[in-house]
């Protein structure tokens, strides 16, 4: 009765990866919750988990073909684009979010265009705007730019408005840190970064800078703001809660899930308790919704606890 934080499946968003081909379903070796599907198997899987009542998914494209410009990001027939329209027609009540960034598609692994020395911010924003329109046309409800380029939220918002997509939401990756915790995610995309992402992602030492990012993204038209990673950045989530009325998403990233999986596997603690405690802590700090590879586990555990 006096418990302050309760978690519910209705606050969860499940990230899923979509690749080319047929009849493919694979999982990350250390984090089994990182799942990659061909479009046909994705549809089957969503049918299987329908009863868990997870309201939203976040789709990422996986590409074999990579080049310097990340051209595959604008391919109208890319697996992730096909996935969006199939899911939209087969699961009308499921909220479809898609990640907007170039890193699955670039051979240098950066989220934006890279001239070998620096990231080309404004040129990248143009490509990301195109990519957002492509996903919006396919039926995505939520566009989630994860690239951290300056000015991209405004550019995407204006393009959506001008093209008749004023009903779509932007979930900005607002405080995304240049973290070591993205390792298993990058394995999944076979993404190797040339250099690092510190020129556009945030310094883990900075707290006030996140508030500047928050102000900018909201002014530019973000509907929801994200903090990423989650567990090591609970102070940032709590700052966002205090400073804004926008819904706050927290992304429990691949490395956070890996730590729990590996610790539990080594008998250091109980896996289920760790999953629920980590999720509870993220919500306690102020998150309104949680993006996690444990979304299925959390929904199943909550059901068992009822
Ligand atoms: C990049 C992106 C990353 C993640 C989501 N979008 C990795 C990165 O910034 O290098 C990481 C998610 C995770 O680790 O689970 N567009």
Q: What is the pLDDT of residues 142-152, one digit of tens each?
A: 999 999 999 99
- Ligand 1 atom index nearest CA of 201: 9
Question: What is the Cα–Cα distance from 46 to 37, expressed in whole angstroms?
Answer: 11
The pLDDT of 75-79, averaged and rounded, is 97
Contact 217, 225 (CB under 8 A): yes
Nearest to 170, CA basis, from 202, 200, 189, 147: 147
215 a catalytic residue: no
**Atom 2, ligand 1: which residue's CA is nearest?**
146
Strand ranges for 101-233 from DSSP E: 142-145, 169-176, 224-228
Kind and range of the H or E run holding 279? helix 271-284
| Probe target for ligand 1 pocket from 17, 173, 180, 182, with the most ligand atoms within 8 Å of CB | 182
For residue 17, which of 160, 136, 190, 209 has the smallest C-alpha distance?
190
Would you say 171 and 218 are in contact if contact means Cβ atoms under 8 Å apart? no
Report whether pLDDT(306) > 60.
no
Helices and strands of the chain, counted as H and E runs: 10, 10
Residue 32 has pLDDT above 60, yes or no: yes
Return d(Cα 297, Cα 261) in angstroms, integer. Answer: 12
For residue 137, the model assigns a pLDDT of: 98
Amino acid 304: pLDDT: 83
Closest ligand 1 atom number to CA of residue 181: 14
Please compute the mean of the pLDDT values over residues 50-76 and round it to a whole number.
96
Q: H/E element holding 288?
A: none
Q: Name the residue at shortest CA distance from atom 14 of ligand 1.
A: 182
Annotated catalytic residue 265: no
Predicted pLDDT at 169: 98
- Given 11, 66, 197, 228, which residue is catalytic? 228
* Res 305: pLDDT: 67
pLDDT in tens, 214-234: 999 999 999 999 999 999 999
Alpha-carbon gap, residue 183 to 256, rounded angstroms = 10
Task: Kindly give the distance from the C-alpha atom of residue 104 to the centroid of ligand 1, in angstroms, as a whole number.
Answer: 9
Q: What is the DSSP pairing of strand 169-176 with strand 224-228?
A: parallel
Q: What is the mean pLDDT of residues 235-253?
A: 98
Q: Which pLDDT band holds residue 195 (cuts at 50, 70, 90)?
A: very high
| CA-derived radius of gyration, the chain | 18
For 158, the 3-state DSSP assignment is: helix
Minimum-distance ligand 1 atom for the alpha carbon of 173: 6
Name the closest-CA residue to atom 5, ligand 1.
146
- Tell me: the pLDDT tens digits for 40-49? 999 999 999 9
Indicate the average pLDDT of the chain: 97
Instruction: Determine the average pLDDT of the residues in 56-62.
Output: 98
Q: Could you read off the pLDDT of 259-293 as tens digits, one per residue? A: 999 999 999 999 999 999 999 999 999 999 999 99
Does the C-beta of 182 come closer than 6 Å to ligand 1?
yes
| Residue with CA nearest ligand 1 atom 12 | 253
Ligand 1 centroid – CA 57 distance (Å)? 15
pLDDT exceeds cutoff 80 at 245: yes
Q: How far apart are CA 33 and CA 257, in angstroms?
A: 8
State in Å: Cα 36 to ligand 1 middle.
15
Ligand 1 proximity of 99 Cβ (cutoff 6 Å): yes
Determine the Cα–Cα distance for residues 119 and 112; give it in Å rounded to an integer: 6
**253: Cβ below 6 Å to ligand 1?**
yes
pLDDT classification of 202: cutoffs 50, 70, 90: very high
Any atom of ligand 1 within 6 Å of the Cβ of 202: no
| 101, 184, 198, best to mutate for ligand 1 pocket (most atoms within 8 Å of CB) | 101
Does 111 sit in the ligand 1 pocket, CB within 6 Å? yes
What pLDDT sits at residue 147?
A: 96
How do residues 83-108 score in pLDDT, each as one tens digit? 999 999 999 999 999 999 999 999 99
Write the residue with the smallest CA distance to atom 8 of ligand 1. Answer: 182
Answer whether 0.95 is exceeded by the pTM. yes
CATH 3.20.20.70 is held by the domain 9-303: yes
User: Using an 8 Å Cβ cutoff, are 280 and 259 in contact?
Assistant: no
């Amino acid at each position: 009765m006096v418990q302050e934080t309760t978690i519910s499946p209705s606050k969860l968003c499940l990230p899923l990866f979509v690749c080319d081909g047929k009849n493919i379903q694979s999982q990350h070796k250390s984090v089994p919750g990182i799942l990659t599907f061909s479009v046909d198997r994705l549809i089957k899987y969503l049918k299987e988990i329908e009863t868990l009542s997870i309201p939203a998914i976040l789709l990422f494209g996986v590409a074999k073909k990579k080049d310097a410009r990340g051209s595959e990001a604008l391919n109208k027939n890319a697996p992730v684009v096909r996935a969006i329209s199939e899911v939209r027609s087969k699961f009308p009540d499921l909220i479809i979010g898609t990640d907007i960034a170039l890193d699955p598609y670039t051979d240098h692994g950066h989220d934006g265009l890279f001239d070998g020395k620096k990231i080309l911010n404004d040129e990248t924003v143009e490509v990301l705007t195109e990519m957002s329109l492509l996903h919006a046309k396919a039926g995505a409800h939520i566009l989630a730019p994860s690239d951290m380029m300056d000015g991209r939220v405004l550019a995407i918002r204006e393009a959506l408005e001008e093209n008749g997509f004023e009903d779509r939401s932007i979930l900005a990756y607002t405080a995304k840190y240049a973290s070591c915790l993205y390792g298993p995610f990058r394995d999944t995309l076979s993404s190797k970064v040339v250099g690092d992402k510190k020129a556009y992602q945030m310094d883990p030492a900075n707290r006030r800078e996140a508030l500047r990012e928050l102000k900018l993204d909201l002014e530019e038209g973000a509907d929801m703001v994200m903090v990423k990673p989650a567990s090591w950045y609970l102070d940032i989530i709590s700052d966002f809660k205090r400073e804004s009325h926008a819904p706050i998403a927290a992304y429990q990233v691949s490395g956070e899930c890996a730590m729990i999986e590996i610790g539990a596997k080594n008998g250091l603690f109980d896996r289920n308790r760790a999953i629920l405690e980590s999720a509870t802590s993220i919500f306690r700090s102020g998150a309104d919704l949680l993006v996690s590879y444990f979304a299925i586990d959390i929904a199943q555990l909550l059901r068992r606890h009822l």
